[in-house]
Amino acid sequence: MLGDYAAKYTKISSGYMGQLMEWPEVITEGRTLEECQEMLKDALRETIVAYRQQNKEIPAGQALLEQIPVDST
């Protein structure tokens, strides 16, 4: 098992951009957040296949992210 990867989604003018925190080259865009999530999963699967074919080391997914609220007052 490779583990869980942390995804970052950013709102952009054409929809959303998704990128894996531990594996920055796995990146995609989608019109909606849901589309972007599915496309990012697909990009991850394809990248894993490519890395295995090239005998490259696959980064382990182990990130723990937390959103920290900030009081602006």
Condensed to tens digits (0 to 9), the pLDDT of residues 42-62 reads 999 999 999 999 999 998 887
For the beta sheet containing 15-20, the strands, ordered from the edge strand earlier in sequence to the opposite edge, are 7-12, 15-20, 27-30
pLDDT at 4 over 80: yes
DSSP state of 22: S
Q: Could you tell me which residue, 47 or 67, shows the higher pLDDT?
A: 47
Question: Residue range 7-20: average pLDDT?
Answer: 96
